[in-house]
Structure 1
């Protein structure tokens, strides 16, 4: 039965944590979904959560669910603001969407301490510094 389930591979779609701006007191970060495809993503849903160890204790954040609707080709959409205090946790984003009635889903995981200055790149389409997972 498992062999009858099609393996729909997610390609040319990314989740990124983007530095939107900074002041001497604070850095503002936002999570974006980036559609690098030439096709529209339909009925986009994303759930997010953080988990891991902080100060010697196991910590879990609330699970947040986001409905983004449709996402045009070669575009991006903001998912949520993210606090730098959770960068030391594993931050997980579970994406699902449809293309022509076929469902696709993928889990994007930012490991603890992966959102650091050394890993910043220029994020495509958004054109700001950030960390991206494809």
Structure 2
């Protein structure tokens, strides 16, 4: 029964949109990262991302990581500048031990910008963090 399904709360797993220099092209690019700020590894990490507004929607992008080690991060995807004007949603599912966890991270339109940059946990970069 639905009432018997226990959905555990996700703690210390974040999605960040980070601005970083692309060394080859000498540009400042926006990239999405998943951050595991836990003391345990995450197994079978699945991420579905999309951008949307009232009248626009991007195709869903799907990503997977077999393992995201404890206290680490991994790049999800490059974010084109025009995507920042849309709401950007990242649906993340993973196993911690034998327990399945699931969380949706949504960056509201136009909130990813240089004025919103903050220090990102575990990374030596600044970006916009969604907890």
TM norm. shorter chain > 0.5: yes
Instruction: Find out whether 1:87 has 2:58 as its counterpart.
Output: no
User: Secondary structure of 1:60's partner?
Assistant: coil
Distance 1:10 1:67 in 2: 18
How many residues get paired?
A: 129
TM-score normalized with structure 2 length: 0.93
Distance (whole Å) between structure 2 residues aligned to residue 82 and residue 116 of structure 1: 12
Q: Which residue of 1 aligns with 2:3?
A: 3
Q: CA RMSD in A?
A: 1.5
Provide the rounded CA distance (Å) in 1 between the counterparts of 2:22 and 2:7. Answer: 41
For structure 2, list consecutive stretches of 5 or more residues without a partner in the other structure: none
Deviation of the 1:22 alpha carbon: 6.5
TM-score by length of 1: 0.91
Are 1:130 and 2:120 an aligned pair?
no
Between the aligned partners of 2:97 and 2:16, the Cα distance in structure 1 is 25
Q: Mean alpha-carbon deviation: is it higher for 120-129 or for 104-113?
A: 120-129
Q: Which runs of 5+ in 1 are unaligned?
A: none
The residue matched to 1:19 in structure 2 has which SS?
strand
Residue 32, structure 1, aligned to residue 33, structure 2: yes
CA distance in 2, matches of 1:61, 1:26: 24
Residues 49-68 of structure 1 aligned to structure 2 (within 5 Å):
49-53=50-54, 58-68=55-65
What displacement does 1:111 show? 0.2
Cα shift at 1:48 = 0.3
1:41 aligns with 2:38: no
d(CA) in 2 for partners of 1:121, 1:130: 5
